[in-house]
Structure 1
Amino acid sequence: MRKPLHHAAHGPPPRDKLGEEFAATAARLAGVAGAVLGWTPDAFWRATPAELEAVVRALCGDASDPAPPDRATIARLMEAFPDG
């Protein structure tokens, strides 16, 4: 018989680094989904990662890496926002 990974009488299992990273990322994404998409926490947790990705792609476009600005764009930005 296999020994259980954690015995309930000893309290909750310790959180590992991966679990902490997941929790932090999930909290950040839930906040973004609420602020930008108007999703409730329940809607966020019921959505699959693929559904969240589809909504974000629909809002942001399909390009994952936008092209860097060209020289003309950089020149316009430098003129509009001089450092001096």
Structure 2
Amino acid sequence: MSGFDWPVLMRLGLHGLRLTPAQFWALTPAELHVMAGQGLRSPVMGRDGLERLLAAFPDETGPEDTGEMSDVGP
């Protein structure tokens, strides 16, 4: 069981919000929740939460990473 009531969500998105199937399936659950007028389920992440996330998933850097932006283009 996924925890989502797909028939209800699809009815809301496709009929209630008049989204195309592509638009509906491109949404995240949080975006659909907000569009349904329900707001966000959890508060916005604060600085402490960001620090915990950064500590748990640090950026991987290689020897070529100087920390400077490069002009990458076609």
TM range (shorter): 0.3 to 0.5
TM-score (norm 1): 0.37
Which has more helix, going by share of residues?
A: 1
Which structure has the larger Rg?
Answer: 1
